[in-house]
């Protein structure tokens, strides 16, 4: 598996779910600009797996006695165990390559040689500097750091024992430089992220259904990506990724997809990103739902006014300029239509969207009833202010549950997300012709771990 998951994760991490009600006609809500930040951990063992896959067990073979100025020397070099990678604090990867070497050397003159072979072991050391360029390509520079003999090479001709350390070291040094080139070539080809960034960017620009029950869609438009410098530790590479996005909520018909891109813009290198991020989404309550809530609370209820009864026979909720209007039909002591309007605000203690700065107007054909307006006004306005509200508990609990479900799963094999919502609550309340839009602020933490390439 390739490292494309790294970039798929950049955009799947913001697949947040919302709570909306079904509306027959499609419409869209405000475009919310927000950002998401997450630390990314890449285990060096996974890069090691990639390197070991690309570097075969038989690393080098010289089957000629006559090459290299007729050196009468053959050699084969194998890995004895997997290549090991360790990070240091200077932004380098230290590479350890354990080797078994078979060598055969001819001793003689005038074309007559006696051959003897030997097997011995050594460990090669390398240092690779890694940098992620803002055009999504990776640059590596691998240098040899010498080697250590486990057993030194000696040819045993009975009474004559000939060390061939210098001969072998010459060959090993040459192979170390060749190995450096191989490592850099493999890193450059395997860790070229641009094509995967394009795939992920276009895939996530497709709107996705966040609630089949309420026929609700979320469309995410990535704007730019910020990445902190890579940090190397003993067994992993860490970085932080910040994504600036627009999120849009739609109900009804699926919205159109964004135009696909052929290249992803360069990311910005930044020194620091906060671990906790704030993401804004929208939840939408149509006026049909607000009316249903009001009817359940007040319709057919009777209230005492001056030892008489007032019954609410019907009630509906709609928009009137920048206010929410509650229109109540009453009969009994007051026979007519009451209009109570207010500015919708979020009451955190009640966990409800309530009305503030209320205004009252009574429409009745009975002139005599107008004398009771003040008394009735105080009664019904207080009732609306105290009792009426659109509960947000379900919205908050559902959103938190959905977000944490999205933040704690393995989207693809080897790509693990772990996240937690620290705080979630409605903030701004917006009105449109069809209903009330609540902007939800979500504070959360998220971590991405690549377990397999």
Rg (CA), the chain: 36
pTM over the 0.85 mark: no
Structure-token pair, residue 410: 């393995």
* pLDDT tens per residue across all 453 residues of the chain: 333 333 334 434 433 333 333 333 444 556 778 777 878 888 888 878 877 887 778 877 888 887 877 777 788 888 999 989 998 878 889 999 999 988 887 777 777 887 888 888 999 999 999 888 888 888 889 999 998 989 888 877 777 778 878 877 887 788 788 888 888 887 777 776 777 677 767 766 778 766 665 566 777 788 888 888 888 888 888 888 888 888 777 766 788 887 888 888 888 888 888 877 777 777 778 899 899 989 988 899 888 877 778 899 999 999 999 999 999 998 888 888 999 999 999 998 888 899 999 998 888 776 555 566 677 777 888 888 888 888 888 778 877 877 787 778 776 666 677 888 888 888 889 898 888 888 888 888 878 776 655
DSSP-derived secondary structure letter, 256:
P
First vs last C-alpha separation in the chain:
4
* Helix (H), strand (E) at residue 381: helix 373-387
Separation in Å, CA 322 to CA 430, 431, 439: 9, 7, 17
Give Cβ neighbours of residue 44 (< 8 Å, ≥ 6 apart). Answer: 85, 86, 87, 93, 235, 236, 237
Structure-token pair, residue 342: 């207010």
Task: Give the number of other CB atoms < 10 A from CB of residue 363.
Answer: 9
Structure-token pair, residue 184: 């850099």
Per-position b or e across 6-44, b if 16+ CB within 10 A of its CB? bbbbbbbbbbbbbbbbebeeeebbbebebbbbbbbbbbb
Burial of 97 (0-12, 13-18, 19+ CB in 10 A): buried
Three-point CA angle 146, 148, 154, nearest 5°: 120
Helices (H), 205-311: 287-298
Nearest to residue 127, comparing CAs of 143, 139, 138? Answer: 143
Q: Where are the domains of the chain?
A: 44-190
């Amino acid at each position: 598996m390739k490292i494309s998951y790294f970039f798929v994760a950049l955009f799947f991490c913001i697949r947040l779910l919302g709570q909306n009600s079904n509306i027959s006609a499609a419409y869209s809500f405000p475009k919310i600009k927000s950002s998401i930040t997450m630390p990314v951990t890449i285990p060096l063992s996974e890069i090691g797996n990639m390197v070991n896959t690309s570097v075969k067990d038989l690393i080098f073979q010289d089957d000629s006695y006559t090459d290299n100025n007729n050196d009468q020397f053959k050699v084969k070099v194998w890995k004895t165990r997997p290549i090991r990678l360790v990070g240091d604090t200077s932004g380098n990867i230290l590479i350890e390559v354990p080797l078994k070497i078979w060598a055969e050397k001819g001793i003689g003159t005038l074309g007559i040689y006696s051959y003897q072979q030997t097997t011995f072991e050594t460990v090669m050391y390398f240092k690779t500097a890694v940098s992620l360029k803002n055009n999504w390509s990776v640059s590596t520079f691998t240098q040899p750091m010498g080697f250590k003999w486990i057993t030194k090479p000696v040819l045993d001709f009975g009474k004559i024992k000939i060390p061939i350390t210098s001969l072998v070291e010459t060959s090993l040094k040459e192979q170390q430089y060749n190995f450096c080139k191989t490592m850099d070539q493999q890193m450059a080809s395997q860790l070229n992220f641009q094509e995967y960034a394009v795939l992920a960017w276009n895939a996530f620009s497709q709107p996705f259904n966040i609630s089949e029950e309420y026929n609700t869609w979320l469309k995410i438009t990535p704007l730019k990506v910020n990445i902190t410098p890579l940090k190397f530790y003993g067994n992993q590479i860490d970085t932080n990724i910040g994504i600036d996005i627009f999120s849009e909520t739609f109900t009804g018909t699926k919205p159109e997809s964004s135009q696909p891109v052929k290249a992803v813009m360069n990311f910005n290198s930044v020194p620091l990103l906060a671990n906790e991020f704030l993401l804004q989404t929208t939840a939408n309550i149509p006026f049909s739902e607000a009316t249903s809530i009001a009817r359940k609370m007040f319709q057919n209820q009777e209230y005492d006014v001056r030892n008489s009864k007032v019954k609410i026979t019907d009630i509906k909720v709609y928009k009137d300029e920048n206010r929410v209007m509650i229109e109540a039909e009453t009969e009994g002591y007051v026979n007519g239509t009451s209009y109570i309007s207010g500015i919708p605000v979020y009451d955190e203690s009640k966990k409800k969207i309530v009305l503030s700065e209320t205004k009252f107007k009574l429409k009745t054909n009975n002139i005599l009833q107008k004398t009771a307006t003040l008394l009735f006004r105080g009664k019904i306005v207080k009732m609306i202010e105290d009792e009426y509200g659109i509960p947000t508990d379900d919205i908050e609990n559902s959103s938190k549950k959905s977000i944490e479900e999205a933040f704690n799963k393995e989207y693809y094999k080897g790509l693990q997300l772990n996240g937690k919502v620290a705080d979630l609550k409605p903030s701004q309340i917006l009105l449109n012709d069809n209903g009330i839009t609540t902007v939800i602020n979500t504070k959360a933490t998220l971590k991405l771990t690549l377990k397999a390439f």
